[in-house]
A and B are shown apart, each in its own frame.
Chain A
Amino acid sequence: EPEVTQTPSHQVTQMGQEVILRCVPISNHLYFYWYRQILGQKVEFLVSFYNNEISEKSEIFDDQFSVERPDGSNFTLKIRSTKLEDSAMYFCASSERAGVYNEQFFGPGTRLTVL
């Protein structure tokens, strides 16, 4: 069964460093998402992406964050200058459709630790 994959599974970085989290969505999906979960808190939406553009983003997704689909398979989340509060589990998701029948499939997550 096709699945969303994410690399790395765990990333440790120093405050102020740039990180890139990578995701390979399900191949026939057109809509891509990033969510994060700070330890002990709920899963929060960051951004949705379609047709090489951001379609929706949350307040969390400020100028420090960017997303890209650099080729036909990868979908990346970049954090330009990490802060301690960026430490969280980051989940990528993809879906075939948007709107009413939007069913999102999630990857295993990347645990980001900012020291």
Chain B
Amino acid sequence: AQSVSQHNHHVILSEAASLELGCNYSYGGTVNLFWYVQYPGQHLQLLLKYFSGDPLVKGIKGFEAEFIKSKFSFNLRKPSVQWSDTAEYFCAVNPNTDKLIFGTGTRLQVFP
């Protein structure tokens, strides 16, 4: 069955630390990949997406993600986090259908 795994459930960092959140998916065909963020009390917002082309994609707020097809991975990175990055982060896959398949999410807490 198609699935998305996010290995880090809860990450705690100090400001200016670097961030990498893992995402792996199981699907052999063409996929579209997304990272969504949910700030406290707010709705899911798209951080970045990969459809095709350059596997290193840049999103909003200094985030980037790298698609590694051979590893079925789409890890999210940010070189220097801020307190305002405190949120829940969701990786999602669209395996060429209309639905998104989400990971379980990673709660990021950034302390000043």
B96 in contact (CB, < 8 A): yes
Asked if A48 and B103 make an inter-chain contact with CB atoms under 8 angstroms apart, the answer reads no
Which residues of chain A come closer than 8 Å to B97, judged between CB atoms? 56
- Number of chain B residues whose Cβ lies closer than 8 Å to a Cβ of chain A: 25
Which residues of chain A come closer than 8 Å to B42, judged between CB atoms? 108
Closest Cβ of chain B to A106, distance in Å, is 4
Asked if A33 and B51 make an inter-chain contact with CB atoms under 8 angstroms apart, the answer reads no
A51 in contact (CB, < 8 A): no
A→B interface (CB under 8 Å) = 3-4, 31, 33, 35, 41-45, 48, 50, 55-56, 58, 91, 93, 98-109
B→A interface (CB under 8 Å) = 4, 30, 32, 34, 36, 42-46, 49, 51, 90, 92, 94, 96-105
